């Protein structure tokens, strides 16, 4: 018994070989617009997507089924994030006239709260895993701090440029990136200003997304010019920069750490998907695409799977038949 358990454990470790074998195992092609955002729930097998077809869709990844589709015709939908509750989300609008954020129960399609404060498109949304807090960054050059239980924002930080925001996994620190720098804030004392400012080596093109690895030791920043910067989140050292095709003003270049932080996967301005080893800094895999816009991309928590969203939703899994060492394993 112990032997077979150990074998299972070995076969679940993500290696370059397994990453290279990954391909689309399943796709949902029933979207009539591009997928603009998606999020995995941390403690369940749920995935939520937002699309330009004005739909919010809830999936159960374990059974590969779409559980619910909710249309947001009046407001449109751009960014979407789970709260701690697996059927409650916060999302931003895409209609150009109402920039409120909305707390929506997918269970009964009810709005629980509106968060009014931004005056231009919201381009970044990050929820704190610990408390009921979240942050949003907008083209109105502000980052607002919110409590899910209150309609009014709890804090405001001014920025000089398009902001990318993220909480770390512990919810103790958040990062705001713009103009070639990442500013680190203590979530409890943010009004004192950043406690660290990290440079990304002179890349002053628009910040797109900033993310922490699960263990909080690494962070990545993507920019409009097609750069993905990986930094040590304690020292601020720039460890490597990966380069893909630049993205247009309206697109977002998204990248994601694998669960143990060993690899980074990313979209590209030409629609392709790339993977790099954090340790070596080298590209380890790439998948070409017929699309010409960057897909949204997220690694599934604790799984050998990542998901991309473009004009369809694709689940990428290893093809074990390509792996010599794994053939013949039951």
b/e code 300-330 from CB counts within 10 Å (16+ = b): beebbbbbbbbbbbbbbbbeeeebeebeeee
Q: What is the CATH number of domain 32-125?
A: 2.40.10.480
List every span in the chain annotated with CATH 2.40.10.480.
32-125
From first to last of its 330 residues, the chain has per-residue pLDDT tens of 444 443 444 346 899 999 999 999 999 999 999 999 999 998 899 999 999 999 999 999 999 899 999 998 888 899 999 999 999 999 999 877 789 999 999 999 999 999 999 999 999 999 998 889 999 999 999 999 999 999 999 999 999 999 999 999 889 999 999 999 999 999 999 999 999 999 998 999 999 999 999 999 999 999 999 999 999 999 999 999 999 999 998 899 999 999 999 999 999 999 999 999 999 999 999 999 888 899 999 999 988 999 999 999 999 999 988 876 555 444
Q: How far is CA 11 from the centre of its chain?
A: 26
Whole-number pLDDT of residue 326: 55
* Kind plus residue range of the DSSP H or E element containing 19: helix 16-20
List every span in the chain annotated with CATH 2.130.10.10.
16-29+159-323
CB neighbours of residue 244 within 10 Å? 23
165-198-182 Cα angle (round to 5)? 15
* Residues sharing a CB contact under 8 Å with residue 34, sequence separation 6 or more, in sequence order: 51, 52, 293, 309, 310, 311
Give the model confidence (pLDDT) of 196-210 as tens digits.
Answer: 999 998 999 999 999
Taking domain 16-29+159-323, whether its CATH number is 2.130.10.10 is answered by yes
Q: How far apart are CA 42 and CA 57, in angstroms?
A: 17
Instruction: Kindly calculate the radius of gyration of the chain based on its CA atoms and give it in whole angstroms.
Output: 19
CB neighbours of residue 208 within 10 Å? 26
Q: How far is CA 309 from CA 7, 28, 291, in A?
A: 33, 10, 11
| pTM strictly above 0.75 | yes
Q: How far is CA 288 from CA 18, 99, 143, 247, 268, in A?
A: 18, 35, 35, 16, 10
Whole-number pLDDT of residue 12: 65
Coil, helix or strand at residue 191: helix
Q: What is the DSSP letter of 97?
A: S
Q: How far is CA 266 from CA 252, 254, 299, in A?
A: 11, 6, 10
Q: What is the DSSP letter of 3?
A: H
Q: How far apart are CA 34 and CA 50, in angstroms?
A: 9
Q: How far apart are CA 246 and CA 223, in angstroms?
A: 8
Q: Would you say 119 and 111 are in contact if contact means Cβ atoms under 8 Å apart?
A: no
């Amino acid at each position: 018994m112990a032997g077979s358990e150990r074998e299972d454990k070995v076969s679940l470790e993500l290696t370059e070989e397994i990453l290279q074998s990954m391909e689309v195992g399943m796709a949902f092609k029933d979207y009539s617009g591009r997928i603009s955002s998606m999020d995995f729930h941390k403690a369940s097998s749920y995935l939520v997507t937002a699309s330009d077809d004005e739909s919010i869709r809830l999936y159960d990844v374990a059974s590969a089924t779409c559980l619910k589709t909710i249309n947001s015709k009046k407001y449109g939908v751009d960014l979407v994030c789970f709260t701690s509750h697996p059927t409650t989300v916060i999302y931003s609008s895409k209609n150009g006239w109402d920039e409120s954020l909305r707390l929506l129960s997918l269970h009964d399609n009810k709005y629980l709260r509106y968060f009014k404060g931004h005056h231009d498109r919201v381009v970044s949304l990050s929820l704190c895993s610990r408390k009921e807090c979240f942050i949003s960054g907008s083209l109105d050059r502000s980052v607002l701090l919110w409590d899910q239980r209150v309609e009014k924002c709890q804090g405001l930080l001014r920025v000089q440029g398009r902001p990318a925001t993220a909480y770390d996994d512990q919810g103790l620190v958040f990062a705001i990136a713009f103009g070639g720098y990442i500013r680190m804030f203590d979530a409890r004392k943010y009004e004192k200003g950043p406690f660290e400012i990290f440079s990304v080596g002179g890349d002053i093109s628009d910040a797109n997304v900033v993310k922490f690895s699960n263990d909080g030791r690494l962070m990545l920043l993507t920019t409009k010019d097609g750069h993905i910067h990986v930094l040590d989140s304690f020292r601020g050292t720039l460890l490597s920069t990966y380069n893909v095709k630049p993205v247009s003003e309206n697109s977002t270049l998204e990248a994601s750490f694998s669960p143990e932080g060993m690899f980074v996967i990313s979209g590209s301005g030409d629609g392709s998907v790339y993977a790099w080893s954090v340790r070596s800094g080298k590209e380890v895999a790439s998948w070409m695409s017929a699309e010409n816009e960057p897909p949204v991309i997220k690694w599934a928590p604790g799984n050998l799977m990542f998901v991309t969203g473009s004009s369809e939703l694709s689940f990428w899994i290893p093809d074990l038949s390509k792996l010599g060492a794994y053939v013949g394993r039951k």
